[in-house]
Amino acid sequence: MTDNYVFFINNQIDYNFIDIGIELFKIGIALTYAIKNKKKFVITDINYLKILETFININFNLINVYILNNNYKSLKITVNGNDYGNEIISNNDCIIKIDFSFHLINEEIRDFLSSTIIKNPKYSNDIYNKLNDIMIFFNDFEINNYVSIIISKNTYIKDYYEKAYYNNFSNCKLIIFTDDINWTIKYVNFTNINNIYIILNNYNDRFFNFILISNFNKLIIRKDNYYGLWCAYLGNKNKIIIVPNDLNDNYYINNWLKQ
């Protein structure tokens, strides 16, 4: 039997998951493709596999890429027109060049990734403790009384974030995830907000903070942040998500609100 398996092969593999959103999108597309075509999802790189098993908390299948033959078909995914290397393409390769779109991911895969990532026992205790610390700080234990934003000093759009907050969440405590706390304290001034909690969103905590943000049910997301878009996409499907008016419709989920 030919085409017995589908491989997820990532050219120029990002072992550090620097852009978690792009990596999750490629995984989501590969899993959706495997289900749709009744194939088995297989990882061909052991180092990448180890990262997935840590972050997503699932045991994937591993096979050595060097034993590829006519029984196997490799799956190459490039996102938004970007090519991730110069892999030699053979008759056994299935090439998917695709624009980032949540609409291309099977709902079953969305549920699967939500469950395995957000409930990952490696992080669950620390996530619980951090959420509890935040709620003790505010003396408010209702998760729906919080709104989360992710900002960077290089891409901060003051008018967008303030308008989104005041128009939709003016009574909520604000949790800011930022790459520079000192800059945020100096320049992010929501004048009517006394209740702000700032968290450093650095490289070492990227997985932990991703899961932590995903636990909040209210988020303000900028359009070019795949990390934030995935935090909005996973978990509670009834989240209140504010996105920019000019957000590409491919990134947009029907119940999200454009500001």
Sketch the domain layout of the chain as residue ranges: 5-112, 121-258
Greatest mean pLDDT range, 3-12, 71-80, 85-94: 71-80
Q: pTM value?
A: 0.85
**Segment holding 27, helix H or strand E:** helix 20-36
Contact 234, 26 (CB under 8 A): no
pLDDT at 230 over 60: yes
Q: What is the pLDDT of residues 165-218, one digit of tens each?
A: 999 998 999 999 999 999 999 888 886 777 899 999 988 898 999 999 999 999
Tell me the per-residue pLDDT of 24-82, one tens digit each, with 9 for 90 and over.
888 888 788 778 877 767 666 777 777 777 787 765 544 444 444 455 555 666 665 44
Task: Report H helices in 119-236.
Answer: 121-138, 158-168, 181-187, 206-214, 226-233
Q: Does domain 121-258 have CATH number 3.40.50?
A: yes
235 and 255 in contact (C-beta within 8 Å)? no
Quickly state the pLDDT bin for 93 (edges 50, 70, 90).
Answer: low
